[in-house]
Structure 1
Amino acid sequence: MSSQVFLSDHDLEEMLAELQQEAEQPDIGKHYQANDSEIVWTLNKPFGKWFNHSFHLRDYLTLTLTEWTFQENFNFTMKSQTEPLFGFSFCMSGGFSVKPFGRAKEFVAHARDTHIAFFQGDMQTTSEVDSGQTVSLVQIGVKPELINTLSTEVSDPSQSVLHQTFSNYQTGKSWLTITMTPAMSIALQQILQCPYQGITKQLYLESKALELITLQLHQLTEDRSTASTSLKLDDIDRIHLARDILIRNLNEPPSLLLLAKQAGINSFKLKQGFREIFNTTVFGYLHAYRMEEARRLLQLGKLNVTQVAQTVGYDHPGKFAAAFKKKFGISPKMLKSC
């Protein structure tokens, strides 16, 4: 049985202070770097590794990339006094739980989950991370002022879907789980593989952060419109597993029957679940993800069109080109040359 490690925010502050002191010594100060818009640090401790890269993109908007790899079960307790803040969180891998002090219900994040949270006032939370996994997170912090200025749903920003959802946030309502879509997955990969530096990097990451917020708010409206479901929680978990199996096998996806078997669910519930959770068919989801991944690879510029087609599961470049143009209104060759 794995041992437990307990850390507080005060412990973390002390560790980061040590890293900052080391940063002044060029021969060892490689684990803490900071400038006006970025802070990057890495903690390497006996209990494991904690990597953090945060960006101040503009007033009211931050982006943070976090990775946890712990050899022991990890418990982190944080106390804070927070100005009103919306948090958009994307769990790329691994899983963890967060329990707010004084509340019976905990917040649980699994791989390929996304969440919207609202923070305000005095808070105390305990995060628990199991050992033997890598948890990768992308988090966006947005103050309500920015949401107000960006809201175009109605003339009064306070009536936007986000404000409606958190209309009771003063009383502590805080967490929502949102379905991760193929478009979100691609935008997240683009953030993690950002090819730019300097001001171009800043603008690129800001555009991707705003894109992810837009995609989450859109999906929130989709999820709310299909909130009534006959699926059990175990069925929902298995449908998410089936989605992950599809993504891992883009070039050779399993048949519907084999996918259902691998996910431990019958084919009827699998088809029903994809329509209810992802608002599309199983292979409609696969097609959309293939196209988004192809667009990302083309924009990255490291593969030619034929190689991209093969990577996302097309044996014939002509069929790939036709599907791509139908989806995006531009040929893959033309996009690559842009």
Structure 2
Amino acid sequence: MKRSMEIEPIATDGAGISSALDGFELCRAVGFDAFRDSLNGVFYPARVEPTGLHTTSVQSLLSAVELTHLTLGFVRFGTETALDPGALGAYHVNVALSGSVESHCGRESVVARPGTAAVFTPEDHTRLPRWGADAGQLCIKIDRRALEAELESMLGRPVASLVRFSIGFDLANSAGRSWLNVVRLLLTDLADGSSLSRGSTTHREELERLVISSLLRAQPHDFHDELHSDHAPARSRIVKRVVDAVDAEPEKAWTLAGMAELSGVSGRRLQQGFREQLTMSPMAYVRLVRLERVHKDLLTYSGSVTDVAFRWGFTHLGRFAEAYRERFGLAPSETLRRFRA
């Protein structure tokens, strides 16, 4: 069943949030086509069409800054607009600062007004059929791998699937206010040309990760209960022994029998332990570690896709490419091209 929600607006310091990006202004009061091209260049290729009467508005404004894990932007079209970016390939949050925006992601929808944010997942179809003429939103694009790696660190185990958030994010409750305060902290620091965020990449990335981890704690998703559990199960010695060995040599020709012999238990018992503690089989864990090593090598230009895949134990390139796309949301060759560019 399709779910829809509306959250009553609250007073939000929209002007303060948007003005923090004044130093990153890209375009203002330009023709609609030029505005759309700038917007798509910063965020996602999307079908963006005006549904209002005017295609040039003195109220249009786009400011944006691309960081390591996040892209933050303020967007106001100044004319009623419809957007259809499809599957985003990244996690994304739109914080409503003025007006209203109807937002859909998969089977969920929300009408975002001040005091509300909309949270989108990477693989579900996203569309915003009614972006009001007076609506301004803080748009936050979150690198998919950065969010999933942060969740893995918080859970203490690998995460083999994407994170599905509820779309409607109430910023009036304590968790929502706390997350928004972290976002304000990052924006305020970026607005100061002599701040630590401007002078230290390490410091800025710590604030970016704080935005991501706060979102994971504040907004419901399918790992939310586990994340907030006070009694996460300890990893047993038999599972830890295999995990440590695979982490040390993921390229090795691992088999279930070989891992069972290493752990000192039967293959069935080892599989049971992995499913209870890591929610995946031993061989799925091997594949996950190999994919992570491939991804890291592609980001550092350590050889061609074929060379890197073989280096980490993948012998069937078709199945490798399919698994890589499922894990990271893009093809291995796209990773290589994007980060070289």
TM-score strictly above 0.5:
no
Q: Greater strand share, 1 or 2?
A: 1
The bucket for the TM-score relative to the shorter chain is: 0.3 to 0.5
Larger RCO (CA within 8 A; separation ≥ 6)? 2
